[in-house]
Structure 1
Amino acid sequence: MIMSTTATVPKTAMQVILDMYDMHSKLFHNVIEGIAEKDANNRLNTKANHPSWIAGSLVQDRFELAAMLGEKHKSDNDELFQNHRSRQDGVQYPALDSYKKNWDEITPVLRNILANIKDEVLESIAPIDMGGEKYSWYEMIYFTIDREAYCIGQLALFRRLLGYEAMKYS
């Protein structure tokens, strides 16, 4: 679901998250479509993360969330991004198209996990250190999906700043 003329109102909070997940699954492809490799590592003379790092971190987040929920897949670029590793100077990051394969691999796996997760799990505390704070699995999943929207927005802005057409929603 990207946009439609009719709407089905979600019945649960997890259905809202799944709807967002599905939209992000499509928008990821759209937002990196056509960005040349010469631009993928361009930080526009700023301290900002470049498109290749942002896209790779998005892919990695899906793999890491799936792993935390019991599905032990690894992305092809795990060493570059594991444990939320920040952008490294002097490293040539992979081509944007290379991320699509991993995105398409993990997306249905993680969606299945999220679609079938039990309320008891969602309400339990996730075993993740977020600087001393404790969060439920629901909050961790929500945060991850929210971060996807944020990163897709960053990539959409980079598209325009680099002179590309706006991201398509269809």
Structure 2
Amino acid sequence: MDTPKSKKLDIIIPAFRGHSQNFLMALDGISEDDAVKRVEGRTNHIVWMVGNFLDMRYAMGNILGLQEEFEYKDFFFQGKALDENLHYPSLQNLKADFHKISPLVYQKLLEVSDDELDKAFPMGMNIEFFPETVLNFIGMCIGREDYLCGQIGLMRRIFGYEGMKYDFDKDLKY
């Protein structure tokens, strides 16, 4: 495993890499048609979940100094609600974007210092037990990714796909 500059990220680095793996395995075999289906008109569709996952990756990258901008930001920024009137990007395009942003964010996670992680990052939450710092924002993004991977995994089962396989790709370094 790569060693981050900050020991504070010892748990974040494996989680980030694990989420990359889970994300791809949860999407394995999902068709473009199924990726835009909703359950009884009550759920988000998989494309929305994937876009929201990517929004988290871009948010982490931005707070760590990356200038990359999410091409589909207008669809997904800050968990923007699903809009059935929009024509969402394809699952294939979103997966390609995942492979573009993820290694860049991963590298930034390896390079960030304790001082940078401790910087204030106002989120407007105003919760006494939750310091609004760069580190805690990254932790929130990681938590959201975990949630979205679970949602995608559930949707794959609802649509009749096999359960997720845990065939980790040892060559995927992000």
Q: TM-score scaled to structure 2, two decimals?
A: 0.84
Greater mean alpha carbon deviation, residues 146-155 or residues 85-94: 85-94
CA–CA separation in structure 2 for the residues paired with 1:86 and 1:68: 23
What is aligned with 2:55?
60
Q: Which moved more, 1:144-153 or 1:60-69?
A: 60-69
2: CA distance between counterparts of 1:153 and 1:101?
21
Q: 2:154 is matched with which residue? A: 157
Point out the more displaced range, 118-127 or 156-165.
118-127
Of 101, 118, 124, the match for 2:119? 124
Q: Does the aligned pair in 2 maintain the 1:63–1:75 contact within 8 Å?
A: yes
Structure 1 runs of 4+ aligned residues shifted over 3 Å read 127-130
- Does residue 41 in structure 1 map to residue 36 in structure 2? yes
Residue identity matched to 1:16: I
Give matches, 1:31-110, under 5 Å. Answer: 31-110=26-105
Is the 8 Å Cα contact of residues 56 and 144 (structure 2) preserved in structure 1? no
Query: How far does residue 68 in structure 1 lie from its aligned partner after superposition?
Result: 2.4
Q: Could you tell me which residue of structure 2 aligns to residue 6 of structure 1?
A: none
Query: Which runs of 5 or more residues in structure 1 are unaligned?
Result: 2-10
Q: Deviations over 1:23-79 (max 9, x none)?
A: 111221111121112211111114221111001110121112211222110122122
CA RMSD, 1 decimal: 1.8
Q: Does 1:29 align with 2:53?
A: no
The answer to whether the Cα contact below 8 Å between 1:41 and 1:92 also exists between their aligned partners in 2 is no
| More displaced 10-residue stretch of structure 1: 49-58 or 70-79 | 70-79
Match of 2:88, SS state, is coil
Structure 1 vs Structure 2: percent identity of aligned residues?
A: 29
Is 1:144 the counterpart of 2:141? The answer is yes
More displaced, 149-158 or 64-73? 64-73
When normalised by structure 1's length, the TM-score is 0.86
AA of the residue aligned to 1:106 = I
Q: In 2, distance between residues paired with 1:74 and 1:136?
A: 22
- Ranked by relative contact order (alpha carbons within 8 Å, sequence separation 6 or more), the top structure is 2
Contact 2:19/2:146 (8 A) holds in 1: yes
> How far off is 1:148 after superposition?
0.5
2-side partners of 1:97 and 1:27: how far apart?
17
